[in-house]
Amino acid sequence: MKTYIEERTVALGEYIADSKCTVREAAKKFGISKSTVHKDVTQRLKRINPALAAEVGSVLLENKNERHIRGGNATKEKYKTIKINKTA
């Protein structure tokens, strides 16, 4: 019988692999902390389902490599909104 944590870990892994979402998005969807998501998919998932862990690991690596781009776009939108509000 699987425990709640093992079921959650597999569900998180499948969700991240299917949706290619970030740890933050997965945490929000499942209502748990980013730390818990990260521990589940990087440590626990390796023991439970190594194949899924490898797939999730590649998604996390891709997200890590793109995070500077996301941050830049978020900053760009922030200042675009500020500029629009000042002129209005």
pLDDT at 73: 80
Global pTM exceeds 0.75: yes
Count of the separate structural domains present in the chain: 1
**Residue the block writes with tokens 């390796």:** 46
Q: Given this model, what pLDDT does residue 88 score?
A: 63
pLDDT tens-digit readout, 35-75: 999 999 999 999 999 999 999 999 999 988 887 787 788 88
pLDDT band at 1 (very low <50, low <70, confident <90, very high): low
Three-state SS letters, the chain: CCCHHHHHHHHHHHHHHHHCCCHHHHHHHHCCCHHHHHHHHHHHHHHHCHHHHHHHHHHHHHHHHHHHHHHHHHHHHHHHHHHHHHHC
| Domain span holding position 23 | 4-87
pLDDT of residue 70: 77
Exposed/middle/buried for residue 32 (C-beta within 10 Å: 0-12, 13-18, 19+): middle
pLDDT score for 53: 96
